[in-house]
Structure 1
């Protein structure tokens, strides 16, 4: 993400649970932050939490055996929430009003005030027990979580696809975020991806473009849309110029499969 979120952006935040290895002894919380209108996924990661809920004798015995082998399981949910919310601070202008929507978990106001200290914060809270229908204010984040569980098998309930280690779950989350923001359209009837709607990219990436390269050179990295090998820094400067030569897609890449280009050599 190389640009600020549009003015007036509204953030939505939530957590959902999955697990690593064993569901009854190694639960995991996944905090996720999105921009409401564009459905742009700002960040998601996993954090270990302690087992909770109904405790049968069999489950208590399994937890005891797990702790004897690896030690008491840490509750890192609060750290995950703070790290995820902090991702938004770099994408919002310092003088922008932070509009945040969450459910009524008691710790969220505390974390929000810590992360957005010194900024004007408008924090709206909604009862999480309301039906998850379109009229629910938190429908965008609930819908995003449903899409995540559907497309990323590692997060499904009672699934053999669950990650054995949490770090691999994080890798899967990052792959899904990239696909959701850069390749998948916001809605099926849309022409634009979430990244286009927030101004991060000029067009939708093809899946082959998404997985074909990876660089860690910061703003010196080659921009994924450049046909001339321009860096992200040069691309950003060129976008402000009047010539769109380097950030327009050639017609031969836009034509449908099986058709011939109208241009000739």
Structure 2
């Protein structure tokens, strides 16, 4: 019996290996079809979905600014982002590299002061000796924030009134657990003496859009706020106001 067991082991390993290869090949052999979608006035995405279920992304994904400049590149596996993704701004600068398999930030573009659509705040008095990190969104400071711009529409018809002179400010409240806790938009239109703040329901966002790497204060996660200055587009939506670099972390007033 001992001799039979010894000679039987290699056969079992080979059979297990063949079955594993068959399972992997069968998964990757699923038929897919290519899809395109417009995220906003400037950004389109191209991806593949399962032919058997067109709601499930599976395979390569790319998003483009003005249909030419790539701003996001990666892969989906059964509707989940997998592997290393790269994110760029509309000028083609690499903004972030994120590994979704390990849920880890591999690279974040440097911050620049005095040239930004983004402001960061924590409710702490920060001294020169304190170590503070800003909240980070997977997807980078352009592509990653598109969902927060795309949800809002001005509360009047852009075809009835010109949006020239209208600006907006988005404020995101991020919990110490890295969760989106609140979202509001203030819109000001000088030509019409219009000034309105709307609190939006965070449940309107997808689960992945509610997740952040939280800000830290001396190594401890803390509540933070991200403030994004925006312009109102001709269609009544929102877009980044100007440059897309970050300001340094600042105290809350």
User: TM-score normalised to the size of structure 2?
Assistant: 0.25
Higher helix share: 1
Larger relative strand fraction: 2
TM-score (structure 1 length as normaliser): 0.25
Largest Rg, 1 or 2: 2
